[in-house]
Amino acid sequence: MQIGVLGPLEVRAGDGRPVDVPGARLRGLLAALALRPGRVVPRAVLVDWIWGEHPPADAANALQRLVSRLRKLLPGGALEGLTDGYRLAVEPDAVDAVRFERLVAAGQARTEDVSGRVHLLREALGLWRGAALQDVGLADSAALDAAVVRLEGLRLTAAEARAEADVALGRGAEVVTELADLVAAHPVRERLVAALMRALAAAGRDSEALQVFQRAREALADTLGADPSPELSAVHLALLRGELGRREEDRRTNLRAELTSFVGRQADVAAVRGLLAEHRLTTVIGSGGAGKTRLATETARTLLDDLPDGVWLVELAALGADGGEVAQSALDGLGLRDALLGGAPNAELTDRLIAAVRDREALLILDNCEHVIEQAAVFAHRVLGECRRLRILATSREPLGITGEALWPVEPLALPRGEAGPAELASSPAVRLLRDRAGAVRRDLAAGADTDARTLAVMGRVCRALDGMPLAIELAAARLRTMTVDQLAHRLDDRFRLLTSGSRTALPRHKTLRAVVDWSWELLSGAERTVLRRLSVFSGGASLEAAERVCADGGGDGVAEGDVLELLTALTEKSLLRAEGGAAPRYRMLGTIKEYASHRLAEAGEAERTRRAHLGYVVELTETAEPHLRRAEQLEWLAAPQARPPGLGREVGPEVEGLGIRRE
């Protein structure tokens, strides 16, 4: 015999024949027995089920008469009378409600086998044909009402569990409509609300998911005077963080897969990793095209397994010079684009970001900070102060200037010596990069191909001419599609016209060599531009004294001699100059920067004037030094700082090299 109570009462004999059970009390008796199949149900319990608080005066005899009538309707031996009550002699699974409870319990127990859980829960929910015990009709039976409430509650629990499992299997979009109907019927059922939010997020409908949470919060306040539970609030926070609706491996980073190999910076990766382990803010600084972004992202990839909440690239290059919203770029990078729809409506973007990442152990890469340096510094200082497990790795052409900031200057790739042999040339990081990128367009130049010593030597010359700058080398490699290595080397004197074949998908400032330096130039003040272009007349760099004499003009354009030191410092911090030496540093430029500054000097109409100032300084220096350098005590004189004229360092500077004097 099969008995169904999950909907209209349904009874079938062993041969499948339907059995009609007329009358509310007979149906109530059968339901009370069916919910405890194979077990003895006490007479008092049955009386309570059937008559509730108004039993007849002779309840025992009234119950006996009902049992007799029901026994005649059921197959023989199905209803047994015992001394302490009555028992329905059927298997538990013969009653749909009992089978339903068993399947739900089994489905909830299989926590690891999500697919198996879904199968069991679907089978359980498939047993329902309508409302539980819907046609029993015992109006005054509290026991019946309690059984209905329990079964309907378990039905909701099963629906919630099945929906959660479906979302976990990537089927969230398929259950949105069903869950929306359930939430509409049960607006304060928080687990249903959470399941609907997850399903909407899985369907890419984050805004609607946030609206569902807002409606649930209002319903809870209006109906129960309560706030959302910690569990529902956690789902809301995960939605703001962009953690819902994505596979686990996609949640931990937004770094794109690279299309080219990473050459020559393995030691830098280890060093930056070390700084990040000790400092919560590390800034990778260097000139344009030095490879700061690539170094930062490659370092971050090595940290993915150590950061539970991942690594996130925040691209600031698209922001205007006014800074735009650094916080908005961070929200976009973290995938929190819908955060504007949640939380307090008047909260600042940075406040919302902090609320979303406060407890996350993650790394943010703030990329290309130089043109929004003030805004990036303020943002980093605020976020690091309130998110104690967060770390920031910034890339910029100058430091953020925050207390506690660790710096890693990105130097040009190591260059081979001028007299290097084939083995040293082939192993040089700069030449390796040139061969690697050239190999993509010329198979005969690839790193694995046989390359003669002469070609390697020319490649070494190309890399030295380009100062080992990675972007310049990559642009040069692209030119090898249509020219030989010799032709490339011979034309590098006009590098800004030659190196113009950048990637179509690169940032505009990285598509040509001139654009790289133009970007840095545009970020300079007028006084900084003046000093940089005038320094281009020095062939081997300048001492502070020399720069003050040649670059200052008595205030004609705002560059006074007393301002030069500060301007040199600013240009050095912006990676356009390199300060080399100890107590008396010399300020030098990379060849590419020097050529660019020389062009700018000519454009400004200052070339002749600056060269005359430089020549006058060299003549004065030479006249002062010559008597001492031609005597036997020249070495003693050079070793005595107080005796040297301004501009002459411990080693004879380029200013007096024309005299043919060397320390040896």
Q: What are phi and psi of 368, to 5 degrees?
A: 65, 65
| Final residue of a structural domain among 502, 537, 560 | 502
Which helix (H) or strand (E) segment holds residue 398: the answer is none
Checking if the pLDDT of 211 tops 80, the result is yes
**pLDDT above 90 (res 282):** yes
Residue 512 domain-assigned (yes or no): no
Lowest pLDDT segment from 15-24, 91-100, 358-367, 444-453: 444-453
Q: How confident is the model at residue 320 (pLDDT cuts 50, 70, 90)?
A: confident
Q: Is pLDDT above 60 for 319?
A: yes
If one compares 247 and 268, the residue with the highest pLDDT of the two is: 268
Q: Hey, CA dihedral for 157, 161, 162, 163, is it positive or negative?
A: positive
pLDDT at 138: 83
C-alpha 332/C-alpha 337 separation (Å) is 5
| Contact predicate 76/125, CB 8 Å | no
Q: Which amino acid is at 615?
A: L
Quote the pLDDT of residue 220. Answer: 93
The type of residue at 267 is A
37-41, 79-83, 327-331, 556-560: which has the minimum mean pLDDT?
Answer: 556-560
User: What is the per-residue pLDDT for 172?
Assistant: 77
DSSP state of 411: P
**pLDDT, tens only, 31-86:** 999 999 999 999 999 999 888 888 888 888 999 999 999 998 888 888 988 888 99
Residue 466 lies inside a defined structural domain of this protein: yes
Q: Which is it for strands 542-543 and 586-588: parallel, antiparallel or unpaired?
A: antiparallel
Q: Which of 267, 262, 320 is nearest to 293 (CA)?
A: 262
State the burial class of residue 340 (Cβ atoms within 10 Å of its Cβ: 0-12, 13-18, 19+).
middle
Last residue of a domain, one of 117, 145, 168: 168
pTM: 0.60
274 and 196 within one domain = no
Contact 118, 31 (CB under 8 A): no
Indicate whether 654 and 573 sit together in one domain.
Answer: yes
| Domain identity same for 360 and 450 | no
Q: Which CATH number is 342's domain given?
A: 3.40.50.300
Cα torsion through 37, 38, 42, 48, rounded to 10: 10
Q: How confident is the model at residue 206 (pLDDT cuts 50, 70, 90)?
A: confident
Contact 524, 371 (CB under 8 A): no
The yes-or-no verdict on residue 197 having pLDDT over 50 is: yes
- Reduce the secondary structure of 211-249 to three states and give it as a string: HHHHHHHHHHHHHHCCCCCHHHHHHHHHHHCCCCCCCHH
For residues 33 and 123, state if they share a domain: yes
Q: Residue range 627-655: average pLDDT?
A: 54
DSSP of 80-146: EEETTEEEE-S-GGGBHHHHHHHHHHHHHH--S-HHHHHHHHHHHHTT--SSTTTT---TT-HHHHH
State how many domains the chain has.
5
For the cut 80, the answer to whether the pLDDT of residue 614 exceeds it is yes
CA distance 341 to 200: 15
Same domain, 616 and 528: yes
- Alpha carbon separation from 335 to 177, 246, 331 (Å, rounded): 25, 11, 6
Residues 158, 177 within the same domain = no
106 and 78 within one domain: yes
Q: 477: which 2 tokens?
A: 């490699």
Residues 426, 404 share a domain: no
Backbone region of residue 631 per phi and psi (left: phi > 0; alpha: psi in -120 to 50; beta: other values): beta
Please report whether residue 257 resides in a domain: no
* Buried/exposed code over 410-432 (b: 16+ C-beta within 10 A; e: otherwise): bebbebbeeebebeebbebbbbb
pLDDT in tens, 216-229: 999 999 999 999 99
Is residue 487 assigned to a domain?
Answer: yes
Structure tokens at 550: 């040649």
Question: Does residue 517 sit within a domain?
Answer: no
Our CA dihedral for 39, 44, 50, 56, rounded to 10 degrees, sits at 150
Identify which has the larger pLDDT, 345 or 609.
609
Average pLDDT over every residue of 437-442: 84
Q: Are residues 160 and 33 in the same domain?
A: yes
Q: How confident is the model at residue 638 (pLDDT cuts 50, 70, 90)?
A: low
Question: Do 370 and 386 belong to one domain?
Answer: yes
C-alpha of 470 from chain center: 26
What are the CA-CA distances from residue 433 to residues 21, 91, 196 (Å)?
A: 87, 76, 51
Rounded to whole angstroms, the Cα distance separating 38 from 51 reads 23
Question: How many Å separate Cα 371 from the centre of its chain?
Answer: 22
| Cβ atoms of residues 386 and 379 within 8 Å | no
Task: Give the CATH number, domain containing residue 584.
Answer: 1.10.10.10
**Region of residue 481 (left: phi > 0; alpha: psi -120 to 50; beta: else):** alpha
Identify the burial level of 341 via C-beta atoms within 10 angstroms of its C-beta, where 0-12 means exposed, 13-18 middle and 19 or more buried.
Answer: middle
Q: Which of 347-351, 552-556, 567-571 has the highest mean pLDDT?
A: 567-571
Which pLDDT score is estimated for 339?
Answer: 40
In this structure, the answer to whether residues 28 and 138 fall within a common structural domain is yes
Structural domain for 162, as ranges? 1-168
Nearest to 356 by CA among 456, 233, 476: 233
Which of 135, 150, 168 is a domain's end point?
A: 168
One domain for residues 370 and 435: no
In a domain, 221, yes or no: yes
Sheet of strand 363-367, all strands in order from the earlier edge strand to the far edge: 311-315, 363-367, 391-396, 281-285, 406-409
Reported as a single tens digit per residue, the pLDDT across 472-508 is: 888 888 888 888 889 988 888 888 888 887 677 776 7
Q: How confident is the model over 96-109, as pLDDT tens digits?
A: 999 999 999 888 77
pLDDT digits (tens, 9 = 90+) for 389-422: 999 999 999 999 999 999 999 998 888 887 888 8
- Under 8 Å between Cβ of 186 and 192: yes
Residue at 144 is within a domain: yes
- 412 vs 291: CA distance, rounded Å: 9
* CA pair distance 155, 97, nearest whole angstrom: 10
Nearest of 165, 167, 166, 224 to residue 190 by alpha carbon? 224
Compute the distance between CA of residue 111 and CA of residue 648 in angstroms, rounded to an integer: 78
Laid out side by side, the sheet with 79-82 consists of 40-42, 85-88, 79-82
Task: Establish if 514 belongs to a structural domain.
Answer: no
